[in-house]
Amino acid sequence: MKSLLVFPFQWYPTQPYLSTPYLTSYLQSKGWDVVQRDFNILSYDIFLSRPFLEKVVSKGRRKIDFLRDKSSLTEVEKALLQVLSVGNQYSGTIISRVDEAKKVMRDPELFFKFNIYQEAHTIIQSALKLISDAYFPSMLSFLTYRSGSGAEESSRKAQAVVSDEEANPFIELYENFLLGSERWEDYGIVGISIIGTSQIIPGLTLARILKKRYPHLFIVLGGPIFSVIAEKLKKWPEFFELFCNAIITFEGEEPLDQLLTTIKSGSSLEEVPNLIYKINGQVQVSERKATIRFNEIPPPTFDGLPVDLYLSPYPVLPVLQSRGCYWGKCTFCTHSYIYGQRYSLHKSSPMVDQLESFSKKYKTKYFTFSDEAVSPHALNDLSDQIIKRDLDFSGLVMLRFEKKMDAELFRKMKKAGFDFLLYGLESANNRILSLMEKGNSGELARDVLRISREAGIWNHLFLFFGFPTETWEEAMETVEFLKENRENIHSLAPGVFTLNKDSVIYNHPEKFSITRFIDPPDMDISTHLSFEISKGMSVKSAEEASNLCVEQISRLFSSNNIWGGMPREHFLLYLDHYGMEALNKNDSIQ
Ligand code: SF4
């Protein structure tokens, strides 16, 4: 019995994602015949191709004719007619240059000529905009996909959108371009990995078509999104008629292995841990929980993935040292929840074995650590190992501010090749940091950023405004922090707070002055929700603070035009190519 694991659109087209590589590797180690496909990059490659875009342009023209024939237009229709007409005007240029644009993204010389890179990026974004407008209100880009109708948050809308040929570009993509590349009759089981909101509609559309066309397939869905909406799924039996035979929540390796064993032997699905399935018209949740830890799982495999197809001149491979978070306390975060409150990590020596082996196999030195936060202790050990083995390595990693971080650690990390560090600052106000249970302070962040920059490392910050009870003055304290520490901060991404279901805040709203959750029925599969609060800024003020911060950034950071629109994997390559100083000053980058 052969199995296929699929990673659907949409994720960044710059590198593979790690879900199917881990599942494939684990299942193969158990003797199963399993292969994986990255439908994300295959979809991007088809979307950004002449045959698909020509169909899109014809569809756009039909829409223009339809709108022009209408006796009156709403404001939305007028705006749509306008963008379709502009798109139609430039469609010839976009289509004739789209192959060249993809080539630039994969070419080791052209990629680093910033003007050429920017033009290629614009052509790619314009091609995706043509698709978005023809399939209005869909929105596709280099960095995300949205249905535009809120269908990824609503079971009712999701059910409608997966069959809506007018608004859903994935029906055309799968039926006329992508599905023909597989011999589906050869498979018994298809697993679809949906790790984020942007994959819900593409992933469910795929599941619906496969379920209808190939009834012999056992379709199983998995990914963190299902762990969060599990309660809803228990009350949604139609989901299992429309899309799949079963759903795996939390970590999938052991449950998938057990599922294959159960299907092969014909025994009961209740034996499979972390499984939601339907039997006799009722949704059942297996009581067993997976017990295997991350450090018992073999390294991922990228075999079966089209490594040369990603939009990058060199492979930039993701690696993962840990699942869960070693800190695990931040009150807004659900990272620990989606790993069942478990934290497990691989030792540094086998991690560096992985880096060494992938480096040789794929002829690359570029790696991105996908961990939410790597500890100073692990970073120290990893750096020691990389230096000792003289491994040519350049990588990025996410981390939190820690007292244990000193100049020696950062010098060692820089020597090893950790060129690009991404920190979760969130806020520089100590009252807010304490309410977040970040376990650090504005002063600590300032000191760590300084010694990290002195070691020659690029410091990127994530932050957001509007944490429950945050005042405008406290938000401005964060903006001031950015200005005062400009020398030690190289890039940043401000945003607005979103309240995640299953976070500490969600479970203890009273501690955060939240008086009411607003959870409309048409957001029943949303992973976040709105709220009312008795203290602090409104959402509108938080948006204003974020906009003000963005405005300051464009004045303070001359390199904003480089990193501001680039996926982080591309920026890692630019950093290695040009160096921190040149990029920071936006000097000699053409
Ligand atoms: S925000 Fe980051 S450091 Fe805090 S618990 Fe979540 S993953 Fe860990």
Atom in ligand 1 nearest the alpha carbon of residue 329: 5
Q: Whose CA is nearest to atom 4 of ligand 1?
A: 330
Residue-wise pLDDT for 419-431, tens only, equals: 999 999 999 999 9
Read off the pTM. Answer: 0.96
Residue-wise pLDDT for 515-546, tens only, equals: 999 989 899 999 999 999 999 999 999 999 99
**Beta bridge pairs of residue 275:** 248
Whose CA is closest to 399, among 469, 339, 304, 325? 325
Average pLDDT of 88-117? Answer: 98
Q: What is the mean pLDDT of the chain?
A: 96
Atom in ligand 1 nearest the alpha carbon of residue 332: 1
Range of lowest pLDDT (77-91, 372-386, 553-567): 553-567
At 228 the pLDDT is 86
Q: What is the whole-number distance in angstroms between the Cα of residue 504 and the centre of ligand 1?
A: 12
Average pLDDT of 354-379? Answer: 97
Residue 20 contacts residue 193 (beta carbons within 8 Å): yes
Residue-wise pLDDT for 483-510, tens only, equals: 999 999 999 999 999 999 999 999 999 9
**Distance between CA 507 and CA 278 in Å, rounded?**
29
Q: What is the whole-number distance in angstroms between the Cα of residue 330 and the centre of ligand 1?
A: 6
Whose CA is closest to 17, among 318, 256, 223? 318
- Residue 421's φ and ψ, nearest 5 degrees, are -110, 140
- Residue 327: how many other CB atoms lie within 10 Å: 20
Residue 257 contacts residue 279 (beta carbons within 8 Å): no
**Distance between CA 446 and CA 486 in Å, rounded?**
10
Q: Whose CA is nearest to atom 7 of ligand 1?
A: 372
Q: What is the whole-number distance in angstroms between the Cα of residue 501 and the centre of ligand 1?
A: 15
Residue-wise pLDDT for 466-488, tens only, equals: 999 999 999 999 999 999 999 99
Q: Whose CA is nearest to atom 5 of ligand 1?
A: 328
**Distance between CA 39 and CA 19 in Å, rounded?**
13
Average pLDDT of 322-334? Answer: 95
Q: What is the whole-number distance in angstroms between the Cα of residue 324 and the centre of ligand 1?
A: 9
Q: Which residues line ligand 1 (CB under 6 A)?
A: 325, 327-330, 333, 335, 372-373, 400, 424
Atom in ligand 1 nearest the alpha carbon of residue 426: 1
Q: What is the whole-number distance in angstroms between the Cα of residue 44 and the centre of ligand 1?
A: 31
What percent of the chain shows pLDDT beyond 70? 100
Q: What is the whole-number distance in angstroms between the Cα of residue 566 and the centre of ligand 1?
A: 24
Residue-wise pLDDT for 148-186, tens only, equals: 999 999 999 999 999 999 999 999 999 999 999 999 999
Q: Is the pLDDT of residue 462 over 90?
A: yes
Whose CA is closest to 297, among 334, 269, 339, 326? 339
Atom in ligand 1 nearest the alpha carbon of residue 438: 4
Q: What is the whole-number distance in angstroms between the Cα of residue 69 and the centre of ligand 1?
A: 54
Q: Is the pLDDT of residue 588 over 80?
A: no
Atom in ligand 1 nearest the alpha carbon of residue 400: 3
Residue-wise pLDDT for 114-139, tens only, equals: 999 999 999 999 999 999 999 999 99
Helix ranges (H only) for 107-237 are 114-134, 155-161, 169-173, 200-213, 224-228, 230-234
At 336 the pLDDT is 82
At 269 the pLDDT is 95
Number of H helices, E strands in the chain: 24, 20
Spell out the domains of the chain, with CATH numbers in brackets: 2-40+162-285 (3.40.50.2300), 46-155 (no CATH), 314-579 (3.80.30.20)
Q: Is the pLDDT of residue 553 over 90?
A: no
Average pLDDT of 307-323? Answer: 97
